Structure 1
Amino acid sequence: MTVLIFLTVYTFLSLIEYFGYLSGDKRKVIFFGFVIFGVLLVIQFIGVPMLKLFHILKPIDIKSSSTLIQKHFSDIKDKLINIIELADIYEEQYSNEIVLASIDQKIKELKIFDFKEAIQFKNLRLVLLYLIISLVTVLSIFIINKSVFAESTHRIIHYNTQFIKPAPFSFQLVNSSLQAKKGDAFKIMVNCKGDEIPKIVYINIEGNNYLMKNTVEGNFEFEIVSVINTINFYFTDLKFNSEKFVLDLLPKPAISGFELKIFPPFYTGLQNQSLENIGDIQIPNGTKIEWNFNGIDIDSLFFLLSDSTIINSVKNQKVFTIESKFVATTDYNVFIQNKMTEPELALSYSIEVIPDLFPEIEIVQMKDSFQLTRFFFKGIIGDDYGFSDLNFHYNINNSDSLVSIPFIKSLADQEFYFSFDFSQLNQASGVISYYFSVTDNDVINNYKTTTSDNFIFEIPSNEQISATEKERFQNIEKLIEQSREMAKDINSDLKNLRLKNMDTNVSEWEKSQMVNDVISKQNKLEQLYDKIKQDNENLNNYLNSFKGQNQDMFEKQQEIESLLEEVFTDELKKLMEEFNKLAEEFDSKKLNQLSEQMDLTFEDLQKQLDKNLELLRKMKVEQKLQDVIDGINKMADEEEQLAQDVVEKKNFQETTDKVSEHQEELKQLNKNLDDALELNDELNKPMNFDDFDNEFKEIENSLEESKTELDKNNTKKSGKGINNTSEQLKNMAFSMQQMLQSNTMQQNMENIENLKQLLSNLIILSFSQEEILTELGGINTNDPGLVQLNKRQKSIVNQSKVVKDSLYALAMRTPQITSMVNNELLSMELSLSKSVEQMEEALFPNARASQQFVITAANNLALMLNEALENLEKQMADGMSGDQQCEKPGGGKPGMDMLKKASDNIKQQLQQMIDQMKSGQGQQMNNQLGQSLIQHEMMQQMLRELMNSGGVGSSAKKQLQQIDEMLEQNRKEIMNKTINAQTIVRQNLINTRLLEAEKAEIERDFENKRDSKSAEEFYSNPVKFFEYKERDNYSIEYLNKNTHKLNNFYNIKYKQYLNNMEK
């Protein structure tokens, strides 16, 4: 019975739990209830009977037993009770026999009953049936699904454990860990698998359901924004629940702040820096950085760099320190952790390492137009932090040499100036390559060097120099011939134009077109002559640079250059300007007048061109002869050295090779001499100069004999022969030099005689003209002596032609007779022509004025020629060759300082006169007017002398001409007593123009480089060379030279700004 009840209750409770998935509390009740029930059942049905069986407990009494039997056998009635009572009486010792007898009687009555029937085994069969049914049921359930008893029993026994009722699907937690750091967000993810997947899943957190986000079918997630406490949760679809989970809270490591210290390399000159909580930085290459981190709940801290390098920190109390040197850009990630957490990324920054770039260098080179072997360089060097070296390199025959250049080591961007004359290398000929190099101060990268572009300079050989000289000189000759022919054509056109002008059938338009044709030719002639001047200057510079002309030849070049400059005189230019106006407003009368003047002027121009060509040829002959002499002297010195070397060093082969070279050079010198003599023959008056053929042959034979002895290794004879050759060369050079000097002296003597004769003729002409001028003053139109005066005037014209022809002939061979002389001669010729015409037309006042001009021009000519004569005589007396110390006539010209002083005095005087006019001091003002007029005339005279002297350039001359016009205007206002404030303004403008003219002259002197002292300073300081050409760049250079330190970003922007300014 116990088993039946137990199995029945157990099966019932198991089924309830298996299908009901009771809560823990209910399972707890069932567990303890079942236990209690089982205990009671065992006690009741097994324990108690067993105790009674063993009489531990009082068993059932006989009366109770009889009552039970009586209930089963109703016929027995009270018989068993009576027997029990009789037995009790027997025990109390009543009459035993009676009692026993009564008992026996009763027993006999009861023997008919079978007491075994009182036990109902039929009832036990029913119980057994129930038991069997229970066992079969239990066994069936166990066989069908043994988990019914196992799982339910397990769950009931483990009532404290949460068991989830199996659903058609399962909740599978995706998270591998349910640990979160305080304050972090945490995403809970669950995956549902099974036959039926729920469409909606909730997460139950602390009894509250929250809808989870369905990402894909069967996957759900829910994010807790900030975890601040431990969280209990489970998943549910409101039908089925998952097991319960706990999200544990871990201590979170955190960085509360950090300090960053930057230590740049010492050579950069940058200051150390300290930054707070700034991680993204730019640093120079090789910078050392130190980080100090403060943190919370941190046990360790390390860096992970871009290249996977790990840098661990050093902990000092609560501060974590990392230090490292960086040479490349990298990202660095700061990882922190503690005992409860894995390493996590706390911070992420980048370090941009600014590489120390190669230094930069830019070179601008300019060749000296005067000395072609000299170059001026302006360089700009730039670097991040400074320089350690700056050099100029030149390479000759693969041998590199350098010249150090001064610089400022710590200035990142700077300019330098440098000049170099390749002639100082004493290189006969060949190619020289050169460049600049700059080295930075980058100690870490072992210094970096950048070189500029490689430049090439070629020193021509003597053969190349001779060929170039010949070609260029021939071109100049052709250009002069073309100029002379063009001037001749213009002269012819002018005469033709005068004839056409008298022809009434020719229209004004045709005449205007003819004027335009003449103007066009004039412009071409001027351009052509400009090219002649430029080509001649270039040729002289070329020869001076590569041949080293002596001072005498150099001064002759300058004199001829001056003559070329003065061919187009101011009077000619003024005439041409007036003639150009005829193209716009044609005037027949003015055309005749101008054409006649221009006819004479262009005729004079032709003669000047002839003179210049003759002087150029003469100078070229002298130059070529001097070159031959210098070459021979050089060869003689080399032969002398060879003789010494062959005796001392016995280097026969080298000496033989050198002698062979001398043989070739001697042939070239002989050819050069022939060329010079050939050019000499083309002169109007050639010099007397031998060809020296015999001497050349003797020297050539001597050289051949020396070679023969050298081939025999005969020291004594070869040395003697070479010495003999050296003496022969020296003797020939001396003879040539003497012959050249003799020609020069002879020419000077002839020039002196011719000058004296010219002076005498000029004086006679001047006195004759003065007599006519005097006589013409007291004559009238009816005077019979007028005819004789006309004849005498024409006679003076004829005399002037003789003077003119003689002067031109002398000028052909004397460069000292400049265009100033020609100008005066032309002025005298024009005035004579006018005087004859005016006398024939009985215009006596005009004729007298023209005659006065003739006298003035003749006297000026006499003064100039006398000055030239004195210079020639001085040279002769000093025994000097050529015209080394000849100076141009017109020395002692007024300078700019005198003009400025005169202008200041005039201004002061004008101001005083205005004040006197205001105060009514009339008499004093009249005195001032007279003095001011005198000062104006004196200043105008100085001004015109300066302009006519040819000593000022075209730019300054233009300013002086404007000053002359303004002075004339002021002079008229003074004469008319109309002085006003405008007069003072004009005088101030005169001062300004004087300053501009002075500046123009300074610039002209600077450009031409004629003053030796200035040239020396100019060459020794190339900064001045570039200062003149780069004045406009002052502001840029000022900005570029500043020493302000900028960080990398702003430094890049700053350089871009400067580059844009320079563009």
Structure 2
Amino acid sequence: MMKIKEELRLKLDAYIRKYYQSKLLRGGMYFLGIGILYFLLVTLLEHFGHFSGKVRLGLLIALVSGLGIILFLYIVMPLLGLLRIGSHLSYDKAARLIGQYFPEVSDKITNTLELSRISEADNRLLQASIDQRIQNLNPVPFNNAVNYRDNLKYWPILVIPTLLFLVLLVSGQWRAISESSKRIVEYQREFVPEAPFKFILLNDNMQAEQGEDVTLQLMFDGESLPESAQFISEDASGRFVKSGPNHFEYRLEKVQRDISFNIYANGFESRTYKLDVVPVPRVRSFSIQVSPPAYTRIPPFDTEMKSVIDVPEGSRVAWNLNAEATSEAGLATSDSTYVFVRNTEGNFFLEQRVLHSMKYRLITRNSRLEKQSAVDNELEVIRDEFPVIEASLVSDSSAPNVIFYKGQISDDYGFSRMQLVIEDGDKTLSRKDLRLENSAISQVFSGVVDMDSLSGNSRNLRVYIQVWDNDGVNGAKSAKSKVFETRVLSKNEQKERIKRQYQSYFTEKEELDQFSEQLKKDMEALKNRLLNSKKADWKDKERLKELMDKQQQLLERQREMEKEREKLRQKEEKVEPKSEQLKEEEKKIEDLKDEDKKKELEDLMKEIDELMEKMNIDQLKEKLDQMEKMSSQNQRSEERIDELLKQLQFQKDVLEEAERLEELGEKMEELAKKSEDNRKEASEQEEVQKEFEKAKEKIDQLKEENKQFAEEAEKQDMEQEQQEADENMQDASEQLEQNQKQKANESQKKSGENMKQMSQKMMQAMMQMQGRQHQEDMKTLRQILENLETLSFNVEDLSELSKKSGKSDPLYRKLLVDQKRLQDGTRIIEDSLVALGTRVPEIKETVYNELEAIKSNLDKSIQTLEEQNGGQAAAYQQFVMTAANNLALLLDQALQQMQMQMASMMQGNQSCQKPGGGKPSLSNMRKMQSELAKQMGDMKQGEKPGDTGQDGKGGQKKGEGRNGKEIVEMLSRQEQIRSQLEEYMEQEGMSGDKGNLQKALQEMKDLERDLLDGGIQPESLKRIEEIETRLLESEQAEREQRQDEKRESKSAEQKEQLYQEQLEKYLREKEGQKESIYTSPVNMKKYYKSQSNQFLNQN
């Protein structure tokens, strides 16, 4: 059954294949015939139409698409059906087509196909029916239903176009078809009708730069030449201008873009020509941004491009370019090209650090053209100039090693530093930075430089000022001022100069004193004139005004001299710092100055001026008296200070020469140790000899100035040491000449030792002189105190008599005589004090104020006695007593200080000329405390029951009676011991047995309180024993500590021995007297103070 169905399908498939083959044959005829006809139609259209390129493109598209459609319909689709691809002829449709050809089997084939789709399992009977039907159809030839010959009826569709094509090919008209088809295919090309002549453009290059004018030059070639021609393009048209036979021109102005054009002549059109317009790089904007170096402090600035632009050296310059039709840009210099960086379309950037001036041209280019700027541009670099300095350096004769400088500096941008340079030959000794304002481009400067630190030896130095600018590109450049040559003085030369200035100072002070003395005489004369006249006239006014002016000038000059003296003191300190002892002595003298007195004198002068205007003679005379006294006091104070300064200057001169001898001795000893060339060593020794000669001359001058020093120097046998030093140096020189090196060194060493011995003996001579003078001064001061005591007692007696005397009492005559006698005694005291004050700075100026009070009140008491006013005279006499007691107290304090200084000198730790001074001794304090304890014990044993009664309760009052004076003495001595202990502890600091000393100090204070409150008590004796014990323990601890310390030098031992000898001599002279050494007065009640003064005056 299956085989029967398969046969039916095969027969149907064969029919279908033949069906499509026939259709493919017919399609091929359609395709060829219609295709040829369509192709001829399109090419003929182009042949007769001669269309433009766009139309030809349309024809090409129409031709290709038309042929494609025909190919698809008549060839591709039948072929796809034949290959059973896509939609194709089905069996049912094929059965219907076969039935059309074989009507007798039409329904049978269709029914059979439908029945064959029914499953065999469904109906076997039906299946058998189908097989029967198929067998009945087998004899029918299905292929005969398709006849290839049926396609012959379409032959005209193929034959007619083919014949037409062949006719055109054979007839010679095929060229038109081929050219038309060529134009259609090459639609981009321009095809023009061939003219009987040729269009010839004479322009060699059909390329022009954008914006320029172009002239087209045309000529024709052929048999029939046109007489005119026309230019035609999309944007413009115009006629060529005939410029000659067969020569035509057409001008295109400022062409901006490509131009395609044709030329028409005699009805013919040329091919299309094209003028290629090249875009020209064109600058829209060109600016420069300049960023100068930071050190110039010039802010960044922008500028448009100019032919020349000034910029500071080292600036960063940024060129900003905006250009059109530009792909690249650059700057071309003589030796290189800098390329811009393209940021965005048309924007270019270039940055360079400019160190040198440069000329350049701007280059712009694109892919087809390069342009350069017509003129050179220039960056002019402004160089950082060298600084300029103008300076002057001068030295002052008053300050030899000080240089004053001033000047002016300038620079274009500023400075980095400035220095003052000091050179010694090729060696730079010092560079001192000077202050300047770095940002100021012009400034003045001034200052002073001290070269004392360079004054080891005198020599010539070169000094100049060097300034550096702030050049941040090339580095700081410098300029120097003119060189100033100066000579630096050595320390000795500076000292000599200061001495000469002191001499000038004292000379001028002497002249000033003479002026003051003359002014005093003139004032006295004017005062006497006013006393003898009742009224002052205008001459008196003028004379008084003149004297006031002179007095004011005197005061001002004195102040100026004080300033000059202070400057000299500072110079001394700068050259060589003084010892503490010398500073202390200077301070004592400086403390004597009383500026307040000068101001009081000036105030008094103003009052006198006012009284002179009011013509108040009585008050004027009184004020003139006051002024005379104050002027005298001022003159005396000035003379006293000058005299003390001279003594101090002498002391410094002696010390200086002693130090010089010490240094020369050390130099000689150093020469003795050297092993140099004899010639060089001899030269060095010669220098020492010259210095030694100067020292000898100075020592001789010092001896002439002070005979006491000369005497003490003679005692020390300085001449012998000097002679031996000279002889040894002479021997050394001869031995060096004879090349006896070892002997020369021995002589040099001996000479050095002689010089050192001279230095020590010179110091000893001065100390002996000072010690002797100190003792004489203390003796004088004690005598003055005794005289004051006598004066006080005598005035007291006169006061009592004055109170008892009445008017017209004959006793007044005797009182006047005694009072004037006391007045004469006061003058003696005054003369002694004035003379002593010129040697003893411990005597304060207040001493002379009290002395003046004594004199004034004595004068007033005499005047009142002459008026027989005893009561008033007694009052003035009482003032005299008070002033005398005050004066005694002040002098007592001065004596205490002198005794302390003497004791310190004699304890021998340091000389009074050397730093540090002496300090109190525990041993001396313990001995003094033991003596005081013995005195208190003796006094306690000798007391009577009534001696220590309380106030108002029988017996005597506290402190009165025979023991009051002794208690005051013991109290004063105990306070002195305590003060020494406090000073000792302060100097020792934390060293020493401070615990014991602190307890001893407290016991001393308690003992003083016992003596003040109730005299000597049993507890007092216990306290003093405790004090002695603690002092002894501390002394032992101190001795143990000193055993571990280095021994002092030989010279120091000699000085200590000298002080000890002086102390022993002093004690022998004062044997039998018990001297107390005081530091400050005790704060006592009035009675004890009076008793203390009496005791001091007696001692």
Quick one: structure 1 residues 472 and 426, their matched pair in 2 at CA, closer, same or farther if it must change by over 3 Å? closer
Match of 1:249 in 2: 255
The Cα of 1:643 is off from its aligned counterpart by 0.5
Amino acid at match of 2:760: F
Q: Which moved more, 1:348-357 or 1:514-523?
A: 348-357
Q: Does 1:625 align with 2:654?
A: yes
Q: Which structure 2 residues correspond to residues 151-162 of structure 1 after superposition, within 5 A?
A: none
Q: Is the CA contact (8 Å cut-off) linking 1:487 and 1:605 kept in structure 2? A: no
Q: How far has the Cα of 1:662 moved from its partner?
A: 1.6
Question: Which letter maps to 1:247?
Answer: E
**Contact preservation (8 Å) 1:513, 1:583:** no
Secondary structure (helix, strand or coil) at the match of 1:401 reads strand
> Which one is further off, 584-593 or 353-362?
353-362
Structure 2 stretches lacking a partner, 5+ long: 1-195, 201-206, 214-234, 242-247, 257-278, 918-1099
The residue type paired with residue 835 of structure 2 is A
**Using a 3 Å threshold, how does the CA distance of structure 1 residues 334 and 366 change in structure 2: closer, same or farther?**
same
Counterpart position of 2:605: 576
User: Which residue number in structure 1 is paired with residue 460 of structure 2?
Assistant: 431
Q: 1:400 aligns with which of 428, 432, 436?
A: 428
CA contact 1:832–1:854 (8 Å) conserved in 2? yes
1:607, distance to aligned residue in structure 2 (A) = 3.7
Q: Is the partner of 1:295 in helix, strand or coil?
A: strand
| CA distance, structure 2, for counterparts of residue 509 and residue 805 of structure 1 | 39
Cα RMSD, aligned residues only: 5.5
Instruction: Specify the alignment match of 1:482 in structure 2.
Output: 511
User: In the comparison of the two structures, how many residue pairs are matched?
Assistant: 662
How far the C-alpha of 1:660 sits from its partner, in A, is 1.0
Q: Structure 1 residue aligned with 2:782, among 753, 756, 764?
A: 756
Seen in structure 2, the aligned counterparts of structure 1 residues 791 and 583 have a Cα distance that, compared at 3 Å, is same
Q: 1:460 maps to what in 2?
A: 489
The offset of 1:756, in angstroms, is: 2.5
The partner residue of 1:498 within 515, 527, 532 is: 527
Q: Does the 8 Å CA contact 1:832/1:851 hold for their aligned counterparts?
A: yes
**What is aligned with 2:541?**
512
Counterpart check, 1:288 vs 2:316 = yes
Q: Which moved more, 1:478-487 or 1:549-558?
A: 549-558
Equivalent residues of 2:413, 2:470 under 8 A apart: yes
Distance 2:614 2:915 in 1: 50
Cα distance, 1:882–1:457 mapped onto 2, change above 3 Å: farther
Deviations 1:931-976 (A, max 9, x none): xxxxxxxxxxxxxxxxxxxxxxxxxxxxxxxxxxxxxxxxxxxxxx
Mapped partners of 2:777, 2:411: distance in 1: 66
Question: 2:561 aligned to 506, 522, 532, which one?
Answer: 532
Structure 1 residues 753 and 850: alpha-carbon distance in aligned structure 2, compared to 1, 3 A threshold: same
Correspondent of 1:667 among 684, 693, 697? 693
Once the 2 structures are TM-superposed, how far is the Cα of residue 734 of structure 1 from its aligned partner? 0.7
AA matched with 1:298: T
The code of the aligned residue for 1:802 comes to I
CA–CA distance in 2 between the matches of 1:403 and 1:304? 49
Number of the residue aligned with 1:874? 900
CA contact (8 A) 1:300 1:336 kept: yes
Match of 1:288, SS state, is: strand
Q: CA deviation at 1:553?
A: 3.7
Match of 2:84 in 1: none
Aligned to 1:699: 725
Distance 2:612 2:395 in 1: 43
Alpha-carbon distance in structure 1 between the residues aligned to 2:852 and 2:757 = 48
**Other-structure match for 2:863:** 837
Decide whether aligned partners of structure 1 residues 363 and 807 sit closer, same or farther in structure 2, where only a CA change above 3 A counts: farther
Q: What pairs with 1:685-696 in structure 2 (closer than 5 Å)?
A: 688-690=712-714, 692-696=718-722
**Deviation (angstroms), 1:712:** 1.9
- The alpha carbon displacement at 1:398 in A equals 3.6
**Counterparts of 2:878 and 2:754 in 1: how far apart (Å)?**
63
Query: Within 1, Cα distance between the matches of 2:311 and 2:657?
Result: 69
Match of 2:326 among 282, 298, 302: 298
SS of 1:444's equivalent?
coil
1:722 alignment partner in structure 2: 748
Answer yes or no: is the 8 Å Cα contact 1:516–1:583 preserved in 2: no
Q: Find out whether 1:597 has 2:626 as its counterpart.
A: yes
User: Could you tell me which amino acid in structure 2 is paired with residue 575 of structure 1?
Assistant: L
Larger Rg: 2
Structure 1 gap ranges (5+): 1-156, 162-177, 187-228, 236-241, 888-1063
Q: CA deviation at 1:657?
A: 0.5
Go from structure 1 to structure 2 and tell me whether the alpha carbon gap of 1:231 and 1:389 turns closer, same or farther (over 3 Å shift).
Answer: farther
Please name the residue that 1:993 is paired with.
none
Equivalence for 2:351: 323
Report 1:240-389 matches (<5 A): 246-249=252-255, 253-256=281-284, 268=295, 285-303=313-331, 311-313=338-340, 318=345, 319-328=347-356, 334=362, 336=364, 343=371, 345=373, 355-356=383-384
**What are the residue-to-residue correspondences of 1:642-661 with 2, within 5 Å?**
642-645=671-674, 649-661=675-687
Could you tell me whether the CA contact under 8 Å between 1:385 and 1:410 is conserved in 2? no
Q: Which amino acid aligns with 2:901?
A: Q
Contact 1:567-1:608 within 8 A present in 2 as well = no
Q: 1:292 to 1:346 in 2, by over 3 A?
A: farther
- The secondary structure found in structure 2 opposite 1:248 is coil
1:262 and 1:597 mapped to 2: Cα distance? 83
Cα 1:419–1:507 change in 2 (3 A) is closer
What is the CA distance between 1:828 and its match in structure 2? 3.3
Q: Is the 8 A contact 2:454 2:488 kept in 1?
A: no
Mapped to 2, the partners of 1:433 and 1:368 lie a distance apart of: 16
Cα deviation code 1:733-766 (max 9, x no counterpart): 1111111111112222222222222233334434
CA contact (8 A) 2:405 2:448 kept: yes
After TM superposition, give the deviation of residue 640 of structure 1 in Å.
0.8
Q: Distance in 1 between the 2:672 and 2:915 partners?
A: 40
| Aligned amino acid, residue 248 of structure 1 | K
Does the C-alpha gap of structure 1 residues 495 and 389 become closer, same or farther in structure 2, counting only changes over 3 Å? closer
The one-letter amino acid of 2:253's match is L
Distance 1:328 1:276, change over 3 A: closer
| CA 826–331 in structure 1, closer or farther in 2 if over 3 Å, else same | farther
AA of the residue aligned to 1:708: E
Q: What is the aligned-residue identity percentage?
A: 24
Partner Cα separation in structure 2 for residue 270 and residue 449 of structure 1: 20
Shift of 1:821: 2.9
The alpha carbon displacement at 1:730 in A equals 0.9
Match of 1:864 among 871, 890, 902: 890
Q: Is the 8 A contact 1:781 1:842 kept in 2?
A: yes
TM-score, normalised to structure 2's length? 0.51
**Counterpart AA for 2:825:** Q
Distance 1:271-1:842 versus aligned 2 partners, 3 A rule: same
Contact 2:315–2:354, Cα closer than 8 Å, also in 1: yes
- Structure 1 residues 406, 488: CA separation in 2 closer, same or farther (over 3 Å shift)? closer
Distance 2:654 2:766 in 1: 8
Between the aligned partners of 1:835 and 1:467, the Cα distance in structure 2 is 55
Question: Which digits, 9 at most, give the CA deviation of each residue in 1:42-98, with x for residues without a partner?
Answer: xxxxxxxxxxxxxxxxxxxxxxxxxxxxxxxxxxxxxxxxxxxxxxxxxxxxxxxxx
Amino acid corresponding to residue 492 of structure 1 in structure 2: K
Letter in 2 for 1:399: K
**CA deviation profile, 1:817-842 (whole Å, cap 9, x unmatched):** 34333333334323332333244345
Inter-partner Cα distance in structure 2 for 1:637 and 1:475: 33
User: Residue by residue, what CA displacement relative to the aligned partner does 1:600-653 show, whole Å, maximum 9, x if unpaired?
Assistant: 3444444444434433332332222222211111100101111011xxx33322
The residue type paired with residue 427 of structure 2 is S
1:812 is aligned with what amino acid?
T
Q: In the alignment, which residue of structure 2 is the partner of 1:1028?
A: none
Structure 2 distance, partners of 1:705, 1:486, is 56
The answer to whether residue 846 in structure 2 is matched with residue 817 in structure 1 is no
Farther off after superposition, 268-277 or 736-745: 268-277
